[in-house]
Structure 1
Amino acid sequence: MFKWLRRLRALPSIPEDAWQATLARYAFLGELPHDMQLRLRTLSAEFLRDKEFHGTQGFVITDEVALAIAAQAVLPILNLKGGLDWYDDFVGIVVHPSEVVARRKIVDEAQVVHEYDEVVAGEAMDRGPVMLSWQDVLASGITTGGGYNVVIHEFAHKIDMRAGDADGCPPLPPGFAGKRSAREARAAWLAVLQPAYEDFREKTILAERFGAEPPWLDDYGAVSISEFFAVACEAYFVNRTAFARDFPSVLALFDEFFGRGQA
């Protein structure tokens, strides 16, 4: 509500030394073409203008923290029509110093309630804030080999949720994949993503149960197709070479959606 009021504020200035330090720490940002870096910087400033950061457990939000999160958060929407409108369902970003334990409750098919604890590095809440572990955000500068990036993961969920429940299929633009209707576009999307997810899940199961070689991609992607989408987005943006080798069909799908060909 009243987001237009926030847009009236002047963009915050990002000091050159702070920007260069961010590009150096997160090499996948520093490797972007110069024109993309310029757009990334502008969009990062818009993100910093519109979002509110909150530290927990005494954690202090410094310029380094806010800029690192902003620059990685806007990378997926850099070429998406609408820009920051993809993230207009929330304002707050909660940063913990490290991973946190979240209490979960699920009801199985027999209507039996199960409660358990889950250690999480981040969480994106539908129409709510995004939670991140600074320890994991910082580690994203050295975990690109495994395609890991907690910021991109959680903001990929936000993109997915724009269509409603997180189900691995974000809202698709008119004419996506040459389809005339949203229903046909969604079917085309899932025709690529669903088999890729099922194949990844099978490989993960074979590794866990029978000692087969585990996939290099984070096995959390085997939990559900929505988690596979988020995990795949991480690798797509931070380790394109390995992702292209093992997921060529998903790479082409993501290229069309995220506008990589427009870069």
Structure 2
Amino acid sequence: MDLSSISDDLAEINGQITDIFRALSNGFQKLEKIKDVNRQSRQLEELTDKMRECKRLIKEFDREVKDIEGRNDPETNKMLSEKKQSMVKELNSYVALKKQHQTNLENNKRVDLFDGPNEGFAEDNVLLASSMTNQQLMDSGNRMMDETDQAIERSKQVVHETINVGTETAAVLKAQTEQMSRIVNELDSIHFSIKKASQLVREIGRQVATDKCIMAMLFLIVVGVIAIIIVKLVNPNNKDIRDIPGLAPPAMARRLLSNPR
């Protein structure tokens, strides 16, 4: 059915969408022949812009269909609905194909870091959206969902391992902090003990010096007494030591000498 007989706006929008689908098909065919990674990336950006524009036009087509739905017979409305669903399906096929190319492009960029790019997409990439069946689209979508789930699981595992490493690191840091605290306390105790020992050494030194002075004085006194005793024994008539207690001659002897009979 010619859409221009229903609505000129619908016919114009349908023509624009058809042109975009043709450009997308040619663009993906061109992308298959490009080997340079940077050029592939630019080509994908251009195709992505075209798909955004196509999505906008499909929404505009849907709004126009709803506006004239009351004026059309059920058969025409059914045909327009199927036309819109066909547009959505074809656009989704290009979106899926774009995601496949994007994944393959990212793998090619990481080829130097890993063993090589992921295999399995080369055969899929050759399929054009216009020739892909519903089953192929569903398989492609399921495969992409599986890959996404696997990537999420890997991310969860990395996060889990990171948390474990962080926990172990925190425990080690805590143990080291406690050990450093004990070392500081022990150093403070050692410093206090050294200071106390220094004070005791000074006190003992002063005490020893005092004891030496006392001993020296006692030694001098003993030597003086011994010297006096020796002098008295040697010269008992020495008057200089006569009056020293214990060394003077007895009183009877003195009377005998002073009063003889």
Indicate whether the TM-score tops 0.5. Answer: no
TM range (shorter): under 0.3
TM-score for both structures, normalised by structure 1 = 0.19
**Higher strand fraction (1 or 2):** 1
